[in-house]
């Protein structure tokens, strides 16, 4: 099956020469959108290609249409990017960033929603890789362009109306933002503060311990408590713009709890319609 959730740096390091391996650098900072690519050009994992959150992993042309700050791309556009990077359905993909895995998790879920199983996130990211003195370089990476065909599993990608329907049916909506932003405090990202009525808070940072993901057993216990008797398929993850919510989806998959859904527009999409209710506190 290959790596489908996380891969430790020491495991990836001994597999760098695998012909079926593609590494994707997902570094990005919302405060400086070009910083990740700049850092990539100066140093990256050997053979890695670069994926920019706003240029490659979102469709920014759809902003303001109810799809939030980082609109989910359509499959045709995204698979064209995969083709440019020389990625094919049989490839083992490993994504990484330089923080907590949240940017890499967005790429991970894009691929999983396409039905690509062999995709994983580097556990501990670039920070742990460098801390272990594993190799990096600044070589220009050129992979042979190809064609990747696929469509997203629409059942796992929900809009605001579908979220309201599922909440009314008793599903769980979990918000991955920090607790203060969920309450409506200290939010510098969105003009309206608060959360979707009926949502619960599961900050994605709680998936981590000492810079790495918690064990599958720990994550399973925490998410089962959050589900409160529901199946994983009855869980919907959201955040500010549909990015860090993917970290919770990855953590659930790591815990053996497969099938949760993503509210793609998340909070920034929810507030684009002023008639939608808002909760605070």
Catalytic residue, chosen from 12, 93, 126, 239, is 239
pLDDT of residue 99: 86
Bridge partners (DSSP) listed for residue 158: 263
- Inside any domain, residue 253: yes
- Compute CA distances 254 → 6, 28, 118, 213, 215, whole Å: 8, 23, 13, 9, 8
pLDDT of residue 1: 62
Instruction: Indicate if 178 and 125 belong to the same structural domain.
Output: no
Instruction: Indicate if 62 and 161 belong to the same structural domain.
Output: no
Instruction: Indicate if 172 and 236 belong to the same structural domain.
Output: yes
Known catalytic residue: 246?
Answer: no
pTM equals 0.97
- Do 236 and 270 form a contact (C-beta atoms < 8 A)? no
Instruction: Indicate if 96 and 52 belong to the same structural domain.
Output: yes
- Inside any domain, residue 141: no
Total structural domains within the chain = 2
- Inside any domain, residue 143: no
Residue that terminates a domain, selected from 93, 116, 131: 131
The average confidence (pLDDT) of the chain is: 97
3-class DSSP state of 115: coil
CATH code of 68's domain = 3.40.250.10
Residue-wise pLDDT for 105-156, tens only, equals 999 999 999 999 999 999 999 999 999 999 999 999 989 999 999 999 999 9
Instruction: Indicate if 93 and 164 belong to the same structural domain.
Output: no
Instruction: Look up the domain containing 120 and give its range.
Output: 6-131
Bridge partners (DSSP) listed for residue 172: 235
Instruction: Indicate if 77 and 127 belong to the same structural domain.
Output: yes
């Amino acid at each position: 099956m290959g790596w489908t959730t996380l891969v430790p740096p020491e495991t990836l390091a001994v597999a760098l020469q695998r012909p079926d391996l593609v590494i994707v650098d997902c570094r990005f900072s919302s405060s400086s959108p070009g910083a990740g690519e700049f850092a990539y050009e100066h140093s990256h994992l050997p053979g890695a290609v670069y994926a920019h959150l706003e240029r490659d992993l979102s469709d920014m042309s759809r902003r303001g249409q109810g799809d939030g700050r980082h609109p989910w791309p359509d499959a045709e556009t995204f698979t064209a990017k995969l083709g440019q990077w020389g990625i094919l359905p049989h490839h083992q993909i490993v994504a990484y960033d330089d923080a907590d895995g949240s940017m890499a998790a967005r790429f991970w879920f894009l691929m999983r929603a396409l039905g690509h199983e062999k995709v994983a996130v580097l556990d501990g990211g670039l920070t742990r890789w460098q801390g272990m003195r594993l190799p990096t370089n600044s070589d220009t990476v050129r992979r042979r362009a190809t064609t990747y065909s696929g469509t997203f599993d629409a059942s796992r990608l929900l809009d605001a109306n579908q979220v309201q329907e599922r909440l009314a049916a008793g599903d769980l909506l979990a918000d991955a933002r920090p607790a203060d932003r969920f309450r409506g405090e200290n939010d510098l990202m969105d003009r309206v503060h608060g959360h979707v009525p009926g949502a619960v808070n599961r900050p994605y940072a709680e998936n981590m311990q000492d810079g790495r993901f918690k064990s599958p057993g720990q994550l399973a216990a925490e998410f089962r408590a959050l589900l409160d008797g529901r199946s994983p398929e009855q869980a919907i993850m959201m955040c500010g713009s549909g990015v860090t919510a993917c970290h919770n989806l990855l953590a659930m998959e790591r815990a053996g709890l497969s099938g949760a859904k993503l509210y793609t527009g998340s909070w920034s999409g929810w507030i684009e319609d002023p008639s939608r209710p808002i909760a605070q506190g």
